[in-house]
Amino acid sequence: MKHAPLIRFRIDFGEHSNIGPGKIALLEGINTHGSLSEAARSMGISYRRAWLLLDSLNQSFNLPATINSVGGRGGGGAEVTTFGILLIERYREVERKLNVVAEKHLREVRAQVNIRGGASARRIPVSKKNRKRT
């Protein structure tokens, strides 16, 4: 069964201000689990990598995407702010619209995708004799 192409993208708002699939998935994970470490575990990334992504995200905008509480007796936690929810919603909205456009405009290309995946089924031999040297 052939599926529509899937668009993955990043939005750059400035030199050090961007959002993409990783940061959005992290926010969604924090929203689901209430914890940065649980969100990282569910994504299969290290806590340090998750922390760096979240720090970058919170430094990118005037409003924080999350509020973190320090661990202690009951453990720490993280909460996605109203602005963080807005980031998730707007990113996913743009993603849905881009995927509709991609499906429409790339239908003929998608029909030619090798369903076995991986390397192309047809190999074009390259002779060492005809290869240009640089």
Query: 15: exposed, middle or buried (C-beta count within 10 Å: 0-12, 13-18, 19+)?
Result: exposed
Q: How confident is the model at residue 115 (pLDDT cuts 50, 70, 90)?
A: confident
What integer is the mean pLDDT of 95-105?
A: 91
pLDDT at res. 109: 85
- Mean pLDDT across the chain, nearest whole number? 85
Instruction: Please tell me the class of the 11-110 domain.
Output: mainly alpha
pLDDT digits (tens, 9 = 90+) for 43-86: 999 999 999 999 999 999 999 999 987 765 556 689 999 999 99
What global pTM score does this model have? Answer: 0.77
**For residues 13 and 15, what is the distance between their CA atoms, to the nearest angstrom?**
7
The set of long-range contacts for 14-17, using a CB threshold of 8 Å and a minimum separation of 24, is 14/60, 16/56, 16/59, 16/60, 17/60, 17/61
> Are 58 and 65 contacting, i.e. CB atoms less than 8 angstroms apart?
yes
Spell out a b/e string for 42-78, using b for 16 or more CB atoms within 10 Å of the CB, else e.
Answer: bbebeeeebeebbeebbebeeeebbebeeeeeeeebb
pLDDT at res. 1: 43
